[in-house]
Structure 1
Amino acid sequence: MLKGTPFAAAAMIAVGLAGGPASEARAQSFPEQEIQLIIPFGPGGATDIIFRLIAAEAEQHLGTTIVPVNMAGAGATRGSRHVLEAEPDGYTILGSHDTIALSSLAGMVDYSYDDFEQVALLTQTINIPTANAEHPVNSADEIAAYVAENPGDVRFSIIPSSTDHFFWAQFFDEAGIDMADVRLVGYPDTGEQVSGLLAQEVDFGMFNLPSAGSHFESGALKPLGVANDERLAALSETPTLREMGLEFDHATSRGIFAPKGTPQEHIDAIAAAFEKALENEELRSRIENEFGTNVRFLAGDDYEAFLDENETALAAAAEGIEFEN
């Protein structure tokens, strides 16, 4: 009844003015409860270790507890789908990596990076082809000859459609190895892959310092090369693949994602907390020296551009892989 009257107009202006500060107050009150960080892999792998380490520091800047939740299964898609379908309120986020795009390229899921709010890139972990200490191969440039001597019998562990699956496809191409001459053995997560290699169920696996560093140190496993343009401080005696004539680098890029529709101010608050966490010199030193991982923080348009380039490169690599659906 008041529509169009001066009183109605004044009332609407009053509501609008009241709504502005109230809206700002709601934004400033985030977070009001703990945040669940879904990790789509089992405990003990590089993704689990790195996200737990950074989250413990980030929660100091966010003002609430960040609870890491391992949600492995379905080739790391169980956890990502859980976040995809979660309430877009900022209280459920995903800590994952290239596997989001890899699962899409493999036809396992109907979503990719663009179906999430892309919060921030945190790190890139250098990957390392690895063997059991008792294996006769001692360096990555010996793998091709070993496969040629044992065609059809050499076993490589993979998490299907994950980063190591793509790593080996690129490695085989660079080393001149026919994929028909090798056996790919699937595992549900990195922890079980490590156990499988320790038990000599397979010949080779692709790991990194977070997942296998303690076994390198004990001598139970041996690194065969470093997929980086320079040697790692913690493995100074291990040559890079490039030093062996294998011309490619390979890293796992880990970042934070949120359900589509999560308020931008919540995304910004989460990103800022993780950025502050990575400014901690002690934490950076551990990540870089102990875990063979480069700290690389990107957010906003920079992270979006990075993910676009990442997915394009992965799509090119996927052309050499036959996926089982």
Structure 2
Amino acid sequence: MAALHMNISCLIFLQVLLLLLSLFAQTNAQGLKVGFYDNTCPKAEGIVKKSVLDAIKKDRTIGAPLLRMFFHDCFVRGCEGSVLLELKNKKDEKNAPPNLSLRGFEIIDNVKAAVEKECPGVVSCSDVLALLARDAVVALNGPSWGVETGRRDGRVTNINEARANLPSPFDNITSLITQFRSKGLDKKDLVVLSGGHTVGNGHCPLITNRLYNFTGKGDSDPNLDTEYAANLRGRCKPTDTTTALEMDPGSFKTFDKSYFKLVSQRRGFFQSDAALLDNQETKSYVLKQTKSYGSTFFKDFGVSMVKMGRIGVLTGRAGEVRKKCRMVN
């Protein structure tokens, strides 16, 4: 009997050991770490930071699109720079409807050119994008975090994959949770990363249904504050396809926690913002960040950005390091 117990104990120990080794191998397999280029291109992060600061000094509104671009890259094929690629037939991610409003690609081109001049063939476009997102947030008075680098660039871009994988501003909470879970992100990541809407603009076509025909009966979204809805109708006519509005009125150029106060007041710009109040966990987080003390948003945002930055990465010998971000080598 003692021998049997010993054999069972040994078996359990071996199973636990194998599990731990497996998890360790998976972590190392990603090949990402803060300071990946410290030896191979020590000036890389400084080059990116200076470029972002220079760009935002010229146009403070460019910070939000740079952040959004990293999100849109990671949710399609993983964080491997596919959103930057261009195809002659226009069937690339850039031309998917959710990406048509992306901008700042020329900034990425300039940063990549500067890094290539310093260290040819070393720093990937996907890492440039990850660093740009962090530095843009910092430049807008937001938090900083250690960006894990070591990604390599993918060689494939597909318009249909962008259509299928990017969360929609029309999504309900169930759909949002499902989409984030499919990328290895949980409910907290969902609500935290939604907080990125504290900077930037949204366009009228994305809220027209909330204002004029929410259920097909010429009505507005009942979850939208009536005063805020009236204000939006004054600026967005039913046929308006171009007007851009601040998602966080009054501080859309500053990364802060005011987004959560707006959502709690039923003044979230998108349906997907309002949906955060339809789940107890996400709602609880929203309300917590509205307090005058105890907000954890800045810390949490960095944690969730690092977690998102690990989605589907290519490392080691996978993929390539593109010389130019718009095309494969």
| TM-score past 0.5 threshold | no
Question: Which has more radius of gyration?
Answer: 1
Structure 2 length-normalised TM: 0.31
